[in-house]
Amino acid sequence: MKKYYILILLMSLFLNAFTQSINGKVLEILKDGSYSPVIGANVYWQGTQIGTVTDLEGNYTISEADTFDEDGNATLMVSYVGYELINQEFIDNLFVFYLSSSIELDEISVKGRQTASKFSTINSLNLETLSTKELEKAACCNLSESFGTNASVDVAINDGVSGAKKIKMLGLDGLYTQITHENMPLIRGLSSAFGLTHVPGSFIESIQIIKGSGSVINGFESFTGQINLEYFKPESADKIFVNLYGNGDGKIEKNLILSKREGDWQSNLFTHISSHSIEHDRNNDGFLDMPTYNQFNFLNRWKYVGDPKYAMQVYVRGLMEDREGGTYNNQVNPFDVKIDNRLLELSTKTGLIMPEQVGKSIGLQTSFRTHLMDAKFGSKSFEGLQQSMYLNLIRQTFIKDCFHKLKYGISFYGDNMDNSLVIYNTANPLDGISAAWYSMNIPVDSRRDLITGIFSEYNYIWTEIIGVTAGLRADYYNKTEEFYILPRINFKYNPSENTAIRFSGGRSLRMANPISDNISLLASNRQILINETLMPEIAWNYGFNLITKFFLFDRETAFNMDFYRTEFENQVVVDMEDQDFISFYNLNSYEDETNKSYANALQLDITYELFDRFDLKLAYKFNDVKSTFSQELKEVPLLPKERALLNFSYTDFAETWIFDFTCNYIGKSRIPSHVMINKEYSNPYNLFNSQVTKKFKDFDIYIGAENIFSMVQENPIIYSYDPSNDNFDASLVWAPIMGRLFYFGLRYRIK
């Protein structure tokens, strides 16, 4: 173990490296005269190998030139595919470049237009960015509905009674994807059950999807990658933004965003109110198709801009939600579902820029959260409390010049989990009275996790050709009293301006919460078995990415290919192979090589402009995911082996009409054995969605339809007519429960 400590200390010996640097910004001039930051622009000294790229806010830092022309001058340059330099100026000690879209093609494809989603050819990480334009292609009421036109992230319904949704990436459950907001923890622990539905889509400015091994700076939990949300910023958001939504099933949603740009403290206030009060049982199975619910959600961000030496942001987030579902008008044999969530969170970001050491900084991220969840599924009642604290201290410096960037620091995760499962029954073994109620309280997911980590990450950039991000974490977990060493590396090579090749590899760690991670499994009469102490989950992820652009019929085409493999050293297996039980146990492949669990994921994407302003997106995904269930290697259940996506998007010349059409193909998935299901695999099916948007000066009107041809799973709730039967199960869901859905909405903004 000592060799890892020595390695981390050696990496940190470069702290005193110092070089004089220049700070600046690269901005795009938009059609309305406003400015937008350019992400990933190349800034370099002409005739040298000294260069850098801009960050998510268009900022850059570059060391002073060490090579000059015959007149003793050095020229600072900027380049970005599809843009041309319009102007440059020196403002407040910043070198600012202004770019505008040229007649050339932008990073992904379309002539003179920014695309709604982008695959980066510059970042060493495999990064895909979904912009507001992409999110507005669908209703996008919450985060779980933000990926309908994207092939990288799959969304599915968890069960037939709660309305919970889950995501999958690289063939694995979303539990193995680190989900953050502005690079701070967002969905983990209790939030895993319903957290995707607790983030309103109207709050989100962009989503960054990172596949494979992510940065060690953001934590230890990134098995298959990271999904990071960026909220609208005070300086760029509309002063007032209103989004109203309603659908044919009776759901109503109101979103209001207020922005304050004046003074030393800029602010955003995000508010969300939604309600679904109409009861539906279209298939007449005696159960509500979707639960009724009420939700209030708010986020308030304050950003300090009074002193350029300091950067500070404060976030306050709160949530109240009540859900009710289950049996419909069944007083004799009810199966009621009631779920209450209460969440309050305070987060901060604080940074010291240190102008006397240009290009060096110190940052501290903190988060404090309390989450209460009570979930009742028939005779089972889950009572959960999570109190969390997160600290992440990051130091950034350079080694010799800006080509060699070093970040290092320390992090702390503290989670107090006090969760229990209460099971009621109608037979009392103590007094023999068969009609009496008794309850059994089983502590589950109850523990105090304290995880302290140190990390160091080295980043190397050589112009646009080579990029390397190599990191190492060492995390100490109090329950096992062990250090977990987590190395990660991402390598990018550009053989040409239009092609990028990436390789990545890394190790990750997470603590499983068997019940709250799989809350939908309570929607059955299976017995729950946890017969051993569940150990931390550990896995390696390896991957390859290729993105290239070429011309087809004089129009640029972008082609992207991913292949990733995840191999578990230990996994907490959720075994549903016996219809009477749900068993949780450790895989422990490092103790028994026959206990294997792996996921292979292949994805192909093509984007092409068929004709002016008519964009085509095609994607295909193949998943080979297997795990060992009771000493037998099987396909992971309820996971489609194949998926495909077809998306058309058309915008008229004035950009006032936008038409979107999406078809998702979902292939067959293995169904766990059940006496009432006479097939091993589900049938493949297609989902068709469409939306039309009309834009005016200050507002948009949109109407759309989801699941146009009403594809639904037949009898999704087994033994729905007798919820007390041992065979009752509402957790085996592989297709939609709701049929065709029409919706409409309005967006209003004051800039």
* Domain definitions of the chain by residue range: 2-101, 117-750
Secondary structure letter of residue 578 according to DSSP = S
Q: Poorest-confidence range of 98-112, 170-184, 685-699?
A: 98-112
**Confidence band of 41 (pLDDT split at 50, 70, 90):** confident
**CATH superfamily placement of domain 117-750:** TonB-dependent receptor, beta-barrel domain (2.40.170.20)
306 versus 415: the higher-pLDDT residue is 415
Average pLDDT over residues 218-225: 95
State the burial class of residue 82 (Cβ atoms within 10 Å of its Cβ: 0-12, 13-18, 19+). buried
pLDDT at 91: 73
- Residue 481: CB atoms within 10 Å: 7
Q: What is the maximum alpha-carbon separation in the chain?
A: 101
pLDDT at 440: 60
| DSSP, residue by residue, 141-187 | -BGGGTTTT-SSSEEEE--SSS--EEEEETTEEGGGEEEEETTEEEE
Share of the chain above pLDDT 90, in %: 62
Secondary structure letter of residue 534 according to DSSP = P
6 versus 523: the higher-pLDDT residue is 523
Cβ-Cβ contacts under 8 Å for 195 (sequence gap 6 or more): 143, 179, 186, 187
* Cβ-contact 626, 636 below 8 angstroms: yes
Amino acid identity, position 735:
A
pLDDT at 66: 58
Beta bridge partners of 350: 312, 364
pLDDT at 112: 40
pLDDT at 243: 96
Write the pLDDT tens digit of every residue in 346-356.
Answer: 999 999 876 56
- Residue 580: CB atoms within 10 Å: 12
Residue 335, pLDDT above cutoff 50: yes
Residue 312, pLDDT above cutoff 50: yes
pLDDT at 356: 60
Closest CA to 365 of 313, 325, 430: 313
| DSSP, residue by residue, 425-489 | ES--TTT--TT--EEEEEE-S-EEEEEEEEEEEEEEEETTTEEEEEEEEEEEETTTTEEEEEEEE
Residue 14, pLDDT above cutoff 90: no
Write the pLDDT tens digit of every residue in 488-536.
Answer: 999 999 998 889 999 999 999 999 999 999 999 999 999 999 888 999 9
* Cβ-contact 119, 547 below 8 angstroms: yes
Write the pLDDT tens digit of every residue in 62-114.
Answer: 877 655 544 445 678 888 766 777 777 777 667 888 887 653 333 333 334 55
Write the pLDDT tens digit of every residue in 435-483.
Answer: 334 456 666 778 999 999 999 999 988 777 899 999 999 999 999 999 9
**Confidence band of 123 (pLDDT split at 50, 70, 90):** confident
Q: Which residue has the tokens 């069944």?
A: 330
Q: What are phi and psi of 672, to 5 degrees?
A: -60, 150
Alpha carbons 119 and 561: distance in angstroms, whole number: 11
Cβ-Cβ contacts under 8 Å for 542 (sequence gap 6 or more): 212, 504, 505, 564, 565, 567
Q: Poorest-confidence range of 50-64, 255-269, 565-579?
A: 50-64
Write the pLDDT tens digit of every residue in 708-744.
Answer: 999 999 989 999 999 999 999 999 999 999 999 999 9
Task: For residue 687, give Cα distances in angstroms to 32, 134, 276.
Answer: 37, 19, 23
Average pLDDT over residues 646-656: 92
Average pLDDT over residues 135-158: 88
Residue 565, pLDDT above cutoff 70: yes
Write the pLDDT tens digit of every residue in 567-622.
Answer: 999 999 999 999 999 999 999 876 677 789 999 999 999 999 998 889 999 999 99
Question: Do 2-101 and 117-750 share a fold?
Answer: no
Q: Would you report the helix, strand and coil content of the chain in percent, each value rounded to 5?
A: 5, 55, 35
Average pLDDT over residues 407-425: 91
pLDDT at 114: 55
Return the top range by mean pLDDT from 129-138, 279-288, 687-696.
Answer: 687-696
pLDDT at 115: 62
* Cβ-contact 751, 239 below 8 angstroms: yes
Q: Which long-range contacts (CB under 8 A, 24 or more apart) does 1-7 make?
A: 1/483, 1/485, 4/472, 4/474, 4/483, 4/485, 5/474, 7/472
Average pLDDT over residues 114-132: 83
**Confidence band of 13 (pLDDT split at 50, 70, 90):** very low
Residue 675, pLDDT above cutoff 70: yes
State the burial class of residue 637 (Cβ atoms within 10 Å of its Cβ: 0-12, 13-18, 19+). buried
CATH topology of domain 2-101: Immunoglobulin-like (2.60.40)
Residue 377, pLDDT above cutoff 90: yes
pLDDT at 427: 45
Share of the chain above pLDDT 70, in %: 88
* Cβ-contact 628, 573 below 8 angstroms: yes
Cβ-Cβ contacts under 8 Å for 376 (sequence gap 6 or more): 336, 337, 338, 339, 382
pLDDT at 525: 93
Residue 542, pLDDT above cutoff 90: yes
497 versus 291: the higher-pLDDT residue is 291
pLDDT at 441: 65
pTM: 0.84
* Cβ-contact 183, 218 below 8 angstroms: yes
